Chain A
């Protein structure tokens, strides 16, 4: 059982490092062909490695973590799709300008939250579970497990691939709860009470308060 797991532990680190080096040397188009579970494993490992190597990040320097997330993870997120789904029916009624603001503020909120979670990280390994998808599937679920202190934590990703593009993550599941669905009810309450502009204001206020924390 363990052997079929695609495990990114220290033991397999040299092998994955070779894989990353090999990928770096390839032409850009070839990277798009990477299978989604390998892609998630590589991404997870890149983040964990960066956290391990940088003492400032380990100490919880949120600004540094935000930079790290911006660099490594954001290029692989389909943020428009996530925001549209989280806002729900109100999204179509929003002006392009409102949509852009929603995206920017939601992005800031999530990056900050993720940075907070990462600063709690130490001695973690990510195990990517065997992919259950047919070859050629353009929308897949990649299951991973975070192992460290305490019980393992389920961390799953929903990804899709559009022609000519890389795999993009558009939904994330933590311990059985989907991120987009969770925010859909948070956002829905604001939109119902105060409209799209009310939601934007609430997001701005939340982000300001978060920035003032540290």
Chain B
């Protein structure tokens, strides 16, 4: 009966969402400059959390309990290895020579010596991972992130990162898997594996935040700025002397 209750919550959220979209933009003194769609974003976050509670957390928990750690590590490594190839392309697009060379070396070594990417031999050998995606490539060439945007199921994003999503999807080897059933299985496996690896992190987030929505938003925007290398020179954590 718990689930029925939750689905009602989801249904109500969809209604709230529609209202929020119609209602338009956030205004007022507390509006975050990078979050003009806050009412919509909050409603979508609420919807995502409903799905998370009903579907993702149970699935991720079963997955985590059913599979021993080495197997899960293999799964994570496998998908991270696919990511390294796309990171290579984006490091090239950003003219990052060393990072591109590392990414390609990682993909080659892990694919062939690490048995299709199941083992991360390259990290053992000290070759660093330089994660990239098309959103960061756009950022590299001067595009700002634009407003914060929460996507259905995928969660935190920005206008720029959402716009680059089709390109990132195309650049993802799993997308090209045949037949479609295989591709979808890969997608589900990756999604569940990712959620399982984040179970601890989201619990910590929920314990740490006064408002998990703004906490997640600020962290997302900050981390993306950080990944794109767009940090202030004086962002060194130094605080003024207290008295």
Q: Do A and B come from one complex?
A: yes
A interface residues, Cβ below 8 angstroms from B: 80-81, 84-85, 109-110, 112-113, 116-117, 119-120, 139, 141, 149-151, 156, 158, 170-173, 175-178, 180-182, 185-187, 189-190, 192-193, 202-203, 206, 210, 213
Q: Name the one of A139, A171, A185 contacting B214, with C-beta atoms under 8 angstroms.
A: A185
- Flag B24-55 by CB within 8 Å of A: 1 or 0 each: 00000110000000000000000000000000
B30-A192 in contact (CB<8A): yes
A176-B226 in contact (CB<8A): yes
B207-A113 in contact (CB<8A): yes
- Flag B70-90 by CB within 8 Å of A: 1 or 0 each: 000100100000000000000
Nearest CB of B to A84, in Å: 6
- Contacts A117-B204, A150-B76, A175-B226 supplied; 7 other A-B pairs, CB < 8 Å: A80-B242, A81-B242, A141-B236, A172-B237, A176-B223, A186-B211, A186-B215
Q: Name the one of B200, B219, B236 contacting A182, with C-beta atoms under 8 angstroms.
A: B219
Enumerate the 4 nearest inter-chain pairs by beta-carbon distance, A residue then B residue, closest first. Answer: A176-B226, A113-B208, A171-B237, A158-B237
Q: Name the one of B129, B200, B231 contacting A120, with C-beta atoms under 8 angstroms.
A: B200
A189-B207 in contact (CB<8A): no
- Flag B189-233 by CB within 8 Å of A: 1 or 0 each: 000000001001001100111110011001100110010000100
A112-B237 in contact (CB<8A): no
B interface residues, Cβ below 8 angstroms from A: 29-30, 73, 76, 129, 131, 197, 200, 203-204, 207-211, 214-215, 218-219, 222-223, 226, 231, 235-240, 242
A171-B239 in contact (CB<8A): yes
24 contacts between A and B (CB under 8 A): A81-B239, A81-B242, A116-B200, A119-B200, A120-B204, A141-B236, A141-B238, A151-B129, A170-B239, A172-B237, A175-B223, A175-B226, A176-B223, A176-B226, A177-B226, A178-B235, A180-B237, A185-B214, A186-B209, A186-B210, A190-B210, A192-B29, A193-B30, A206-B210
In the assembled complex, which residues on chain B have CB atoms less than 8 Å from the CB atom of A110?
208
A182-B207 in contact (CB<8A): no
Nearest CB of A to B99, in Å: 14
Nearest CB of B to A170, in Å: 6
* A182: nearest chain-B partner, CB-CB: B218
Q: Contacts A116-B203, A117-B204, A175-B226 known; A84 to B242 CB distance under 8 Å? A: yes
Bound form: Cα–Cα A175–B208 in Å: 16
In the assembled complex, which residues on chain A have CB atoms less than 8 Å from the CB atom of B218?
182, 185
In the assembled complex, which residues on chain A have CB atoms less than 8 Å from the CB atom of B222?
176-177, 182
